[in-house]
Amino acid sequence: MKVLRFPDPRLRVKARELKIIDKETRKIFGQMKELMYEEDGIGLAATQVGIDLRFFVFDLSKEERKPQVVINPIIISKSDEKIVFGEGCLSIPGLRVPVERSKKIFVKWIDEKGNEIQKELSELESVLFQHEIDHLEGKLIIDKLPEEERKRIIKEIIEL
């Protein structure tokens, strides 16, 4: 398992609902958590490792590791109030893009144990969820840039 880098076309795949959590999926959850730490990331979506299922792993805890798995997330509502955060992405190393998103979102998802969670998220947690859910839709932070800048950066990345 490895993190796909832009412009890998698999990053543009719209992921399907994850219907069954079994031994095999739990093994993938574990591998993705490890990979996220190896890569020094705070979130990793299934799409980023070439799996077209709707889930991601994340860890926003500071000292000890507390990774969580978010399955089939659905944003129920978004605040009109926005937040701009300089976002990076493991699939586009070295790039940081200011992205405007809703400051608060109300989300429901299934956790690793199969429980349904409903929660209002704010600040960095809200930004992270929106970033990872974008991945499951095949969207990347680079899409948020103005056209000229996007073209220039894509050209630079491809030349590298």
Give catalytic residue positions: 132
- Report, in Å, the least distance between residue 18 CB and Zn ion: 19
Q: For residues 103 and 70, give the distance between their C-alpha atoms in angstroms, rounded to a whole number.
A: 19
Nearest 5°: the CA angle 143, 144, 147 is 75
Site string for Zn ion, 88-107 (x = CB under 5 A): -x------------------
Residue 122 has φ and ψ, to the nearest 5°, of -135, 170
Tell me the closest approach of the beta carbon of residue 88 to Zn ion, in angstroms: 8
Cis peptide leading into residue 7 (ω within 30°): yes
- Measured from the CB atom, the residue of 103 and 131 that comes closer to Zn ion is 131
| Cα separation, 12 vs 95, whole angstroms | 18
Smallest gap from Cβ 15 to Zn ion, in A, equals 13
Tell me whether residue 39 or residue 111 sits nearer to Zn ion (CB atom). 39
Site for Zn ion in 32-91 (CB under 5 A): 89
- Interface contacts to Zn ion, rule CB under 5 A: 89
